[in-house]
Structure 1
């Protein structure tokens, strides 16, 4: 099996005939609407023409550095002009950005560099007191080039990577354009290859469903390397219709409210945790939000009560979004009644999204595990043949691991997860990965990591540990950080036990652990 799994020829032909795949490379997306305002980042304003020229020069400069078609580059930039310019320069070269998240550290970045044989790694200088250049130094020898947005010190400054534009080799729209990261149920995230064809359809169709047009102003409040703010419809969907993208340095209410009022933002997307904090901040934030035409909330389940609260507090139309970086997107529609928007997570984006819901017996049901395939859902993870045999059915349906219930209208209600992934405020934490690292702690004899319900985050991480002197959450956070893990993966709670409960066949009984950990008077099993 090759590293990339293509769609079967018959389905590819069907998607092209339907107009989903147009044979256009992502790098051409910003060549339209030259005089319109494309990007706002702080005081920097770029029209499409200006952005296009900067991207051409950057692509030529990268080519002179040796970055070529098919090369992979780990991109860990924040919501900056550099993120947009570098992404499009790589698209035009036929090189492939791998979108790491700002919170990732040596463990995650080292894996991405090694697994993909990346030729370069792009970082900011410092953000929030963290020096990404020091992280890059710890990866010396694992990539050929380190590109830095800001003070590069001994590395290559992204601002200096510029050359006279030259004609570049044509890019295959059916080929891989970029890699997103899976939430990951195993020790390391899986790489999700998205092609120019499928991802451009993802963005364009999303823009249509969300009502974006050339007058739309989209606020990228979440980290831009996430699928949600990148193409659902996000940055790429906004560019597809000639709208304006405004980059926020953080999703805080202070910054977001200021930018919404100042730039007359019409659309934005956040996770429930952020949305609820925004609603709370209305009590003291003076900014006007009347320009906001749509608030998208996704990445974790929003309850009906929370949805009603957000609409009341923020005064903007609400859209629930349920999707996955692997593909399938579900949106409530702009004309759905409010009570339906409040109680479900949307219906599939495309007429050619195929959805199967299978019950515990493996038979079709209205409630069960979600399986899907379609014109923008991948057919396999990058270079993962063994995992692909279990993650995908023989006929190409992706096993999402989500438990859903289908309403008569076709809308889906998310009811949980089959896989051991903790959705901590939109950040996905692999229980298995955290367990693997915690088992190496000298004080811990055994451990199981579970999700506990949380009013604000949706779920929080609980480490159930067997230890004579159980480490504190602070101690475990420091330990995991020392092993190169992102800070959000540290347990929020430690639950000490004398032994882990087991099922009749000898496996750790995580259902019983959840009962014990949420009992107001917890007892040992």
Structure 2
């Protein structure tokens, strides 16, 4: 099977000039080398900006080493896990890089988790240390008595901002009251850095086969599992994405009406970090790729505050790379004030995390002048598997082509490769694919084919040109009287209906048909009725695909990156 795909790999002939078929990890022995390289190459470049305060690569280098040195004073076991529960604040980067530089394993924790979800992840990973923002400390409070952690490090929103930070903390704690009461043994983040500064940092001896991250799956279809991502997995994906985007980096002002003065002023790539860096998409495609390029990371801790986010965008017209998800793009373009946002240096908008809908993509391009280059990946693949080329001129609807050194095949339920254009499960082989699920050998085995392809659980098709289209999640597929119905298709149709802001489709049990289609809708037009939705669907879809049930809701349940969680809708 592998030989078959390697001989035809139809996507290779459609690669942009300069994008290699295979990547080379060079002499790198771990992620530490690539991090050190950036620190040595760009010491005076601004590494990040947060709440108007900037930090250079030299400063980030020193602080992350201090954090690493502090962790080393704790005398943790080799391969110890450090759980990090921060939004997009400087402390996340300091802690994440410091953990890797100490030789330990990063366990990224969604800062929106409940106590139950946090407890599951701490227990499942066997974490020794938790690093958490005080805004979320109350979440840990209720499980602190049962915890087996060796240390809890608590940070505050303003502690990296100097004198301004004192004011920020007063506002956050006492005026906005965003820090609920908590009380458990801990050390403050800045105190840990101070201790680390007083101790020598010892660079660990790591290999490409050492574990770098336990990246927990979103749990959108079941219990969250830890994907074991090795140093070589993340390193490979950084290099894969870098090669893929190189054409737009090299022609950064291609087809853009930018003055010569503006071109000369634009010396550093600027990455928007609005998606949480604890999520694999933003971790690799924003934080680590951004550092690889010596870029400036603009940290947005709460993109759900759309009004505040739009004001932020107005102040940062220098953004080059804008990763996002459909719900974020959708929320922005439906605000009248977003029309005032101008991003003349925008090179590429990358859509991932969930399906980007055409209606949203077309409106985005009309307003921003740059199409959304949709991509595809998973926690288990570090994450990028496929992506549209960065020089597309319009939204394609596909997830693009496999990135270098990546094989993608489409298999039927018997594990046989299907012809071009037919649906099946997307299966992936490449250096970015995880080593397995943490402490779950049976599930690891079930997730792989006999010849080493990871079974994604996503249903898709591949064209003769090597472009892949996502149909839907395998577990979200609805069977109506024996007919297969894919929610993404129905959602795409209903989202295009006037008066619909957002929608999500699930299967609802039915005595005769097995399942029927049920749609949940957030209204844009308060006068929208069920009858209107039913009529619209009747005009657009065959009978078995049409929703039999329509429910209006005020908002959709979403993950920390804004992905709609259909599993929660099943309980409504």
What TM-score does the superposition give when structure 2 sets the normalisation length? 0.69
1:149 counterpart residue number: 155
Tell me the equivalent position of 1:518: 547
For 1:188, the equivalent position in structure 2 comes to 223
SS in 2 for 1:104: coil
Q: Corresponding residue for 1:31?
A: 39
5 Å-filtered alignment, 1:452-463, equals 453=491, 455=495, 456-457=501-502, 459=504
How many residues matched?
432
1:45 is the counterpart of 2:54? yes
SS in 2 for 1:409: coil
**Deviation at 1:79?**
0.4
Q: Aligned runs of 1:3-402 on 2, under 5 Å?
A: 19-20=24-25, 22-28=27-33, 29=35, 30-32=38-40, 33-67=42-76, 69-126=78-135, 131-140=136-145, 141-150=147-156, 154-162=185-193, 163=196, 164=198, 165-184=200-219, 187-210=222-245, 211-212=248-249, 215-231=268-284, 233-251=285-303, 252-263=305-316, 264-283=318-337, 286-327=340-381, 328-338=384-394, 341-350=395-404, 352-365=405-418, 366=420, 367-402=423-458
Range with greater deviation from structure 2 (301-310 or 400-409): 301-310
Q: Distance in 2 between matches of 1:319 and 1:521?
A: 32
Equivalences for residues 485-504 of structure 1 within 5 A = 501=511
Distance of aligned partners of 1:23 and 1:68 in 2 relative to their CA distance in 1, 3 Å threshold: farther
Structure 1 residues 420 and 50: alpha-carbon distance in aligned structure 2, compared to 1, 3 A threshold = same
Distance 2:209 2:297 in 1: 26
Deviations 1:462-507 (A, max 9, x none): 8x6xxxxxxxxxxxxxxxxxxxxxxxxxxxxxxxxxx86388xxxx
Offset at 1:285? 5.5
Go from structure 1 to structure 2 and tell me whether the alpha carbon gap of 1:521 and 1:35 turns closer, same or farther (over 3 Å shift).
Answer: closer
Give the distance between the partners of 1:201 and 1:516, measured in 2 at CA.
41
**Corresponding residue of 2:527:** none
Q: Secondary structure at the match of 1:419?
A: helix
Change in 2 beyond 3 A, CA 1:223/1:512: closer
The alpha carbon displacement at 1:335 in A equals 2.7
- 8 Å CA contact 2:31, 2:235 repeated in 1: yes
Give 3-state SS (helix, strand or coil) of 1:275's partner. Answer: helix
Determine the C-alpha separation between the residues in 1 that align with 2:221 and 2:396.
33
Distance 1:178 1:323 in 2: 16
Which residue, 460, 466, 475 being the options, matches 1:410?
Answer: 466
Distance across 2 between alignment mates of 1:357 and 1:516? 24
Q: Aligned pair in 2 of structure 1 residues 307, 317: CA closer, same or farther (>3 Å)?
A: closer
Query: Measured at CA, do residues 345 and 92 of structure 1 come closer, stay the same or move farther in structure 2, by a change above 3 Å?
Result: same
Are the counterparts in 2 of residues 216 and 266 from structure 1 also a CA contact under 8 Å?
yes
- After alignment, is 299-308 or 49-58 more displaced? 299-308
Question: Are the structure 2 counterparts of residues 38 and 362 from structure 1 closer, same or farther at C-alpha, using a change threshold of 3 Å?
Answer: same
Cα distance in 2 for residues equivalent to 1:103 and 1:303: 26
Give yes or no for contact 1:379–1:396 (8 Å, CA) kept in 2: no
Measure the CA separation in 2 of the matches of 1:261 and 1:516: 42
3-state SS of paired residue (1:55): helix
Tell me the TM-score normalized by structure 1. 0.75
| Superimposed CA distance per residue, residues 113-146 of structure 1 (whole angstroms, 9 cap, x where no aligned partner) | 11121101121111xxxx4334244233332211
Q: Deviations over 1:274-332 (max 9, x none)?
A: 10111122545534322322211111112333322210123234211111111152111
Q: Unpaired segments of 5 or more residues in structure 1? A: 1-14, 423-449, 465-498, 504-508
> In the aligned structure 1, how far is the partner of 2:71 from the partner of 2:339?
43
Higher share in helix: 2
Q: Distance in 1 between matches of 2:470 and 2:226?
A: 24
CA-to-partner distance for each residue in 1:39-75, whole Å, 9 max, x for gaps? Answer: 1111321111111011111111122233454100121
CA contact 2:314–2:340 (8 Å) conserved in 1? no
Q: Structure 1 stretch 326-335 or stretch 238-247: which is displaced more? A: 326-335
Preserved CA contact (<8 Å) 1:185 1:421: no
